[in-house]
Amino acid sequence: MATVHFNRTLSGEMVTQFMNAIDAGATGGTIKFYTAPMPADTTVAISTQTLLGTCTFDATCGSVAAGTFTADAITPDASADASGTATWARIQDSNAVVVIDVDVTVTGGGGFIQMPTNALVAGGPIAFTSFTSTMP
């Protein structure tokens, strides 16, 4: 794996663009959790994957400081749509324009999103207490 380090000004600009992409719609962007497999890239449509549930950002999703995006409150999904193992998530603006696809693992598993458990249960909650993204 390659290693890169951007200066703080450039990394701040990149995560600002990430934040602005989530905020591009009229309301809050979403984080949609799915079962495997993750599509090859963000232009590939969802096919056999099961939507497990959706969490929603505030209309203004967060802030940026020192190259780190920090989300404001994220509205949990109080009742997951289906049961299954969340292996990836698609982050979109409120117009369903894809911003990024990310892997999901249990805490310590190295995923972009790490959860205490990624085994989600239909009718159960999907909640976040925080969300940050830092450019190196």
Give the tens place of pLDDT for each residue, 15-40. 999 999 999 999 999 999 999 999 99
Collapse the DSSP code of 110 into the 3-class scheme (helix H, G, I; strand E, B; otherwise coil) and give the result.
Answer: coil
Kindly give, in sequence order, each residue whose CB lies less than 8 Å from that of residue 77, ignoring residues fewer than 6 positions away.
Answer: 53, 54, 55, 125, 126, 127
The token pair that represents 114 in the structure block: 């790490």
The DSSP code sequence of 33-90 is: EEPSPPPSSTTSPP-SPPEEEEEEE-SS-EEEETTEEEE--EE-BSS-SS-EE--EEE
Give the tens place of pLDDT for each residue, 73-121. 899 999 999 999 999 999 999 999 999 999 999 999 999 999 999 999 9
Predicted TM-score of the model (pTM): 0.94
